[in-house]
Amino acid sequence: MKDEIALLATVTLLGVLLQAYFSLQVIYARRAFRVSPPLTTGPPGFERVYRAQVNCSEYFPLFLAALWVAGIYFHEGAAALCGLVYLFARFRYFHSYERSAELRLAPMYQSAGALWLLIALGALGLLSHFLPAPLRAALLGWLRTLLPWA
Amino acid sequence: MKDEIALLATVTLLGVLLQAYFSLQVIYARRAFRVSPPLTTGPPGFERVYRAQVNCSEYFPLFLAALWVAGIYFHEGAAALCGLVYLFARFRYFHSYERSAELRLAPMYQSAGALWLLIALGALGLLSHFLPAPLRAALLGWLRTLLPWA
Amino acid sequence: MKDEIALLATVTLLGVLLQAYFSLQVIYARRAFRVSPPLTTGPPGFERVYRAQVNCSEYFPLFLAALWVAGIYFHEGAAALCGLVYLFARFRYFHSYERSAELRLAPMYQSAGALWLLIALGALGLLSHFLPAPLRAALLGWLRTLLPWA
């Protein structure tokens, strides 16, 4: 089992590190803008950093769930790669949002795209898992003509 | 392994889709009520949609964790069924909360019931896993008289 | 598979129970301080309980992810033990924060320590998994001299 999920586990741990990094940024922003817990409102500069972290935290469980379903039922390497794209987009989202609410949009759409791709790959993988064997073979054959590198 | 968790993975992916749907509803509510990020306060109609989504997000990791423990250590089909009940209750919770804070209570209790059932099934499954073999056989026999369809 | 993850599943379920307990505390605080949903602001006593729960919820997915990676790739028992330390620190964090924002710091650092340890163990386990066999043997030998009880 360990061999088939090692890439997923690696991307998962990278994601945990990224979320921990975002949490530290909120702590630094609390100091810089003098916003003490339990307050979460303050200058717009603080609120943007705080909202960026909250948004990334809300999506993190969705990301992990889609990553693992896609990685187990579709293709581990493809899912791990999408996962890296997602995490990199989230990193850019966080630092863009820090600068302005407007700038967050482009990396936000990119991270959403990576997440939807993971969901689609997971759905495709599960569909092929539940299909009777002849239909599954036909589906896989069709996918291979679409994605010759898979 | 894939065969024993396919139903759990399917319910997980449905849950991710439901959470993504809730996030989209918040985006629509932001537009309808003209509440731009990073603000999260505004007219009560917006705040109810926002709170509904935050509450569902907070419980999502608890739901997934209980679903998988119950599905692996108790019974996959029973856990997946509870999971569907939970997700449907959350869907009704979200749209009831959108209309009024009072209306959210009935589906909230239903989703809590499904979650507690998953926790109980998981605890029972783990208990039977750790029991010595003769005690486990006695517990399983007793469960079978209670739940003849299991 | 079930035998190699039963301790991780047990700690996971304990974590779900702890989070459910925190959610109940927020409901009681809402009643005590008369703060009705969807409001999340109110007297400092309510806001501290609310923030404590939100903070624990945000970290819960990170905790579960690090617990499972460390438990699968490093050592199940060691990860489960760190997990118990983390959950106990979070319990103390919650009730300390309830009393004052100052008091939350000591258990917060303790929970962060347990989480960083899980992340480090997971990274070490994955590193040794990806290393070529001779390097892995050397790393394991070195770890055994450091941790003779492992």
pLDDT mean over B3-22:
97
Which of the following is catalytic: A30, A48, A90, A104? A104
ipTM of the complex: 0.91
Instruction: Name the average pLDDT for chain B.
Output: 94
Q: Cβ A38–C58 below 8 Å, yes or no?
A: no
Query: What tokens appear for A12 in the block?
Result: 């998962």
Q: What pLDDT sits at residue B149?
A: 66
Q: Which residues of C touch B (CB under 8 A)?
A: 1-2, 5-6, 9-10, 12-13, 15-17, 19-20, 23, 36-40, 54, 57, 60-61, 64
Query: Which one-letter DSSP state was computed for residue C148?
Result: T
- pLDDT at residue C127 in the model: 93
Q: Read off the pTM.
A: 0.93
Q: Which residue of B has its CA nearest to C57?
A: B58
Annotated catalytic residue A104? yes
Q: Is C10 exposed, middle or buried (0-12, 13-18, 19+ CB in 10 A)?
A: buried
Contacts of B10 (CB under 8 A, 6+ apart): A126, A130, B80
Give the one of A48, A68, A72 whose C-beta lies nearest to B38's C-beta.
Answer: A48
Task: Specify the DSSP class assigned to residue A39.
Answer: -
Of residues C2, C5, C16, nearest to B62 (C-beta): C16
pLDDT of res. B1 = 78
Architecture of domain C2-146: Up-down Bundle (1.20)
The average pLDDT across B88-105 equals: 96
Which are the catalytic amino acids of B? 31, 104
The pLDDT value given to residue A13: 98
Contact A122 B64 (CB under 8 A): no
Evaluate whether A88 touches A113 at the Cβ level (below 8 Å). no
Residue C89 is predicted with a pLDDT of: 98
Q: Is residue A17 within 8 Å of A1, Cβ to Cβ?
A: no
Question: What is residue A150's predicted lDDT score, i.e. its pLDDT?
Answer: 55
Residue-wise pLDDT tens digits, A53-81: 999 999 999 999 999 999 999 999 999 99
Query: Nearest C-alpha of chain A: how many angstroms from B61?
Result: 6
Question: Number of C-alpha atoms within 13 angstroms, CB side, residue B47?
Answer: 11
pLDDT tens sequence across B100-138? 999 999 999 999 999 999 999 999 999 989 988 888 888
Say how far apart CA A150 and CA B103 lie, in whole Å.
49
For residue A15, the model assigns a pLDDT of 98
Query: Domain locations in chain A?
Result: 2-146
- Given a cut of 80, whether residue C150 has pLDDT beyond it is no
Percent of chain A with pLDDT over 90: 81
The span from the CA of A56 to the CA of A54, in Å, is 6
